[in-house]
């Protein structure tokens, strides 16, 4: 958004520069054309002079009377050289006049653009200020976390891990980065400190409420005294000095309380950032999973994990942190309300003080003082109004940015989903094609082998039409379950191996095993082949179902997205149409009435009898 605004400002500046250059070139062209016309006129006059009086002028001497006349003509011709300069000046003035006339209607546009530019600059400054504050807080929090991680390594825990793992490994690094007893203690201490500061903040808010109540009572008392003074038309100097002194004391007390409140709020914000950073960086579940994998029986590691960092402790800390954040937000809102009330009381006190001092002064001085006080109060109210407008504008901008970010995230999510579906479809197609090619190659090799083995082999009667080849471990169809190693071990224990099985090492376990001898049970091999055939049909059916289901799911998702977009567009169109209709009805429909419509009952009857009635009408 900021880059787009900068680009727009640059394009506008370039447009203005090119427009100014065009105006300058146009003026230069007009001046050149005027100079050309003047030169042509001058050349024509010279040619006319040469053709008419050139011979007579050449025969006369300079001392003759005619020579003086010729010299006068020369002087007049020389005086005409000023004419081109005047024409150039006139053309330049015309161009400037035309430029001013063309720019008269763009005054409002320029003012609007200047106003928008000022608003955009203020918005950019606000965003830059927010970015600087967040970056500063992030830097401070990162430095604090780094210092804590450097200083909070529990020596006993590290020694125990070194004793368990003499080579070191990643355990000391993980312990230093994530989980130590000292880190947990620091986290608890930070939480207690934040709770204590929050308690102090609550006490301060209570004290502010009491102060406001006292100020209200004092204001009521001051108003009562003022009304009494106005009724009696006399004032007391000592009473005025006392009221002024009390007002100054209250103002100093309010400033002190405001300063204390700001300090406590700043400390609480820093503590909150520290606790959040510690909670984010110091609770890694992967470390606990790794320790459980290293020590299946539990032992001391499970005890240390339970003592220091568990899911329950983390949940409690997060709940306490959320509760503290909620209370802090409520107290910040309360503090803002209290500040507004204090500002209102200050304005009322200022007004009462001005009225009180105006009683003791003359009418002119009192009027001037009242006017100055009203100006101060109006300025204060205007500042509050501008602050509220700025906050509203900032909130509106933040909401718009959040909506844009949400829309962008949704679009990216849809694109990623489409890309994922496409990749899945391509992967499934490639896997199936490779699988079929490999099956065909293995079938050819088995066919050649069976032809070579002879008619006495039991395998030759079963593997020509019923053999099923499974892919290796690296090639697996989508939805096909992996074969556990236990099955392979069991089959290898049942069927003996022979050296010739190396020819088909990457095929089905039946292909890796030797052919049965004549004493092998035929029923077992037949049942195994039938089971393999059934498995092949099941896998084929599952593959087809998964492929069809993925395409249908992608189509359904795309249709749902199109329906949602159309519903959103319909809602926007309906809202715009309703808004346009309401504006037309409220702004352009006016009820008008004729001035000659009679008002009394008798005149109405006369008009009806005479037939000159003119009904009222609506005029749009």
Q: Is residue 74 predicted with pLDDT exceeding 70? A: no
> pLDDT tier at 163 (50, 70, 90 boundaries)?
low
Q: Is residue 537 predicted with pLDDT exceeding 80? A: no
Question: DSSP string of 540-560?
Answer: HHHHHHHHHHHHHHHHHHHHH
Which string of b and e fits 586-618 if b means at least 16 CB within 10 Å? eeeeeeeeeeeeeeeeeeeeeeeeeeeeeeeee
Q: Is residue 14 predicted with pLDDT exceeding 80? A: yes
CA distance 511 to 466: 13
Q: How far does CA 125 lie from the centroid of its chain?
A: 16
- Rounded to an integer, the average pLDDT of 405-432 is 80
- Identify the top-confidence range among 35-39, 250-254, 294-298, 453-457: 35-39
Q: Is the dihedral of CA 203, 204, 209, 215 positive or negative?
A: positive
Q: Is residue 70 predicted with pLDDT exceeding 50? A: no
- Identify the top-confidence range among 77-81, 453-457, 614-618: 77-81
Domain edges within the chain: 1-50+83-97, 152-360, 427-581, 589-620
CA distance 269 to 259: 15
- Rounded to an integer, the average pLDDT of 509-537 is 57
- Rounded to an integer, the average pLDDT of 602-614 is 71
The angle, 0 to 180 degrees and rounded to 10, between the axes of the packed helices 299-308 and 285-294 is 160
> pLDDT tier at 313 (50, 70, 90 boundaries)?
low
Say what the pLDDT of residue 496 is: 41
Q: Which helix (H) or strand (E) holds 617?
A: strand 617-619
Which string of b and e fits 488-526 if b means at least 16 CB within 10 Å? eeeeeeebeeeeebeebeebbbbbbbebbeeeeeeeebe
Higher-pLDDT residue of 478 and 427 is: 427
Say what the pLDDT of residue 533 is: 78
- Identify the top-confidence range among 178-187, 210-219, 291-300, 458-467: 210-219
Q: Is residue 548 predicted with pLDDT exceeding 80? A: no
Contacts of 423 (CB under 8 A, 6+ apart): none
* Claim: this prediction has a pTM higher than 0.85: no
Higher-pLDDT residue of 310 and 521 is: 310
Q: What are the angstrom distances between the C-alpha of 326 and each of 272, 321, 322, 487?
A: 12, 9, 6, 58
Q: Is residue 619 predicted with pLDDT exceeding 60? A: no
Token pair, residue 516, equals 């049965």
Q: Which of 58-67, 142-151, 207-216, 375-384 has the lowest mean pLDDT?
A: 58-67
Higher-pLDDT residue of 228 and 130 is: 130
Q: Which of 174-183, 362-371, 497-506 has the lowest mean pLDDT?
A: 497-506
Closest CA to 308 of 146, 192, 185, 159: 185
Q: Is residue 280 predicted with pLDDT exceeding 70? A: no
> pLDDT tier at 55 (50, 70, 90 boundaries)?
very low
> pLDDT tier at 521 (50, 70, 90 boundaries)?
very low
Say what the pLDDT of residue 481 is: 43
Say what the pLDDT of residue 281 is: 53
Token pair, residue 504, equals 């088909």
Token pair, residue 444, equals 């050819």
Q: Which residues pair with 619 in a beta bridge?
A: 590
CA distance 503 to 497: 13
- Rounded to an integer, the average pLDDT of 166-195 is 55
Say what the pLDDT of residue 541 is: 75
Say what the pLDDT of residue 80 is: 52
Q: Is 619 helix (H, G, I), strand (E, B) or coil?
A: strand
Q: Which of 457-466, 533-542, 574-583 has the lowest mean pLDDT?
A: 457-466
Higher-pLDDT residue of 238 and 448 is: 448
Residue-averaged pLDDT of the chain? 67
CA distance 355 to 226: 8
User: How would you class 456 by CB atoms within 10 Å of its CB: exposed for 0-12, middle for 13-18, buried for 19 or more?
Assistant: exposed
Closest CA to 27 of 99, 104, 101: 99
Say what the pLDDT of residue 158 is: 54
Q: Is residue 603 predicted with pLDDT exceeding 70? A: yes
CA distance 521 to 462: 13
CA distance 32 to 490: 105
- Rounded to an integer, the average pLDDT of 389-396 is 84
Encode pLDDT of 551-576 as tens digits.
667 777 888 888 888 888 888 888 88
Closest CA to 33 of 83, 86, 88: 88
Q: Is residue 306 predicted with pLDDT exceeding 60? A: no
Q: What percent of the chain has pLDDT over 70?
A: 53
Q: Which of 124-138, 194-208, 566-580 has the lowest mean pLDDT?
A: 194-208
Closest CA to 314 of 351, 269, 275, 270: 275
Alpha helices in 454-521 (DSSP H): 458-462, 485-494, 509-512
The angle, 0 to 180 degrees and rounded to 10, between the axes of the packed helices 311-360 and 363-453 is 160
Q: Is residue 288 predicted with pLDDT exceeding 60? A: no
> pLDDT tier at 464 (50, 70, 90 boundaries)?
very low
> pLDDT tier at 17 (50, 70, 90 boundaries)?
confident
Q: Are the beta carbons of 218 and 342 closer than 8 angstroms? A: no
Say what the pLDDT of residue 389 is: 85
């Amino acid at each position: 958004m900021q880059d787009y605004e900068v680009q727009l400002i640059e394009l506008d500046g370039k447009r203005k520069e090119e427009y100014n250059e065009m105006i300058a070139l146009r003026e230069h062209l007009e001046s050149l054309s005027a100079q050309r016309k003047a030169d042509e006129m001058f050349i024509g006059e010279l040619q006319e002079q040469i053709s008419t009086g050139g011979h007579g002028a050449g025969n006369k001497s300079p001392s003759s009377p005619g020579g003086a006349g010729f010299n006068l003509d020369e002087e007049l011709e020389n005086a005409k050289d000023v004419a081109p300069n005047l024409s150039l000046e006139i053309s330049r003035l015309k161009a400037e006049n035309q430029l001013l006339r063309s720019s008269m209607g763009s005054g409002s546009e320029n003012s609007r653009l200047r106003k928008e530019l000022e608003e955009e600059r203020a918005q950019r400054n606000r965003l830059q200020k927010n970015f600087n504050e967040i970056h500063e807080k992030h830097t401070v929090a990162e430095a604090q976390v780094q210092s804590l991680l450097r200083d909070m390594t529990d020596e006993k825990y590290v020694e125990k891990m070194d004793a368990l793992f003499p080579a070191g490994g990643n355990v000391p690094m993980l312990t230093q980065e994530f989980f130590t007893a000292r880190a947990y203690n620091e986290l608890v201490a930070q939480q207690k400190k934040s709770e204590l500061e929050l308690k102090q903040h609550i006490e301060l808010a209570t004290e502010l409420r009491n102060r406001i109540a006292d100020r209200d009572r004092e204001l009521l008392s001051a108003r009562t005294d003022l009304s009494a003074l106005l009724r009696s038309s006399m004032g007391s100097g000592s009473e005025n000095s006392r009221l002024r002194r009390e007002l100054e004391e209250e103002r100093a007390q309010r400033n002190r309380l405001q300063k204390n409140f700001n300090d406590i709020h700043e400390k609480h914000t820093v503590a909150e950032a520290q606790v959040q950073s510690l909670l984010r960086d110091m609770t890694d579940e992967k470390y606990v999973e790794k320790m459980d994998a290293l020590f299946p029986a539990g032992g001391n590691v499970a005890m240390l994990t339970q003592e220091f960092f568990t899911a329950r402790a983390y949940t409690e800390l997060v709940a306490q942190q959320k509760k503290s954040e909620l209370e802090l937000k409520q107290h910040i809102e309360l503090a803002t309300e209290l500040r507004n009330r204090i500002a209102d009381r200050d304005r009322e006190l200022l007004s009462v003080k001005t009225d009180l001092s105006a009683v003791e002064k003359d009418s002119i001085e009192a009027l001037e003082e009242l006017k100055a006080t009203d100006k101060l109060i109006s300025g204060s109210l205007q500042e509050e109004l501008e602050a509220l407008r700025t906050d509203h504008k900032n909130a509106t901008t933040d909401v718009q940015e959040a909506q844009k970010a949400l829309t962008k995230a949704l679009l990216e999510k849809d694109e990623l989903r489409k890309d994922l579906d496409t990749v899945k479809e391509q992967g499934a197609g490639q896997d199936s094609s490779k699988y079929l090619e490999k099956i065909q190659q293995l079938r050819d090799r088995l066919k050649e082998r069976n032809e070579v083995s002879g008619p006495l082999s039991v395998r030759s009667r079963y593997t020509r039409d019923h053999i099923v080849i499974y892919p290796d471990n690296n090639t697996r169809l989508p939805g096909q379950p992996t074969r556990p190693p236990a099955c392979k071990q069991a089959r290898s224990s049942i069927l003996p191996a022979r050296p010739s099985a190396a020819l088909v090492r990457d095929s089905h376990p039946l292909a890796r095993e030797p052919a049965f001898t004549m004493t092998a049970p035929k029923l077992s091999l037949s049942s195994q082949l039938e089971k393999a055939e059934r498995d092949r049909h099941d896998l084929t059916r599952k593959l087809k179902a998964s492929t069809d289901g993925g395409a249908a799911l992608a189509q359904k998702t795309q249709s749902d997205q199109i329906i949602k977009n159309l519903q959103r567009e319909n809602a926007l169109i309906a809202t715009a149409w309703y808004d346009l209709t309401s504006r037309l009805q409220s702004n352009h429909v006016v009820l008008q009435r004729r001035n000659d419509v009679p008002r009394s009952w008798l005149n109405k009857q006369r008009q009806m009898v005479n037939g000159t009635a003119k009904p009222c009408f609506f005029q749009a």
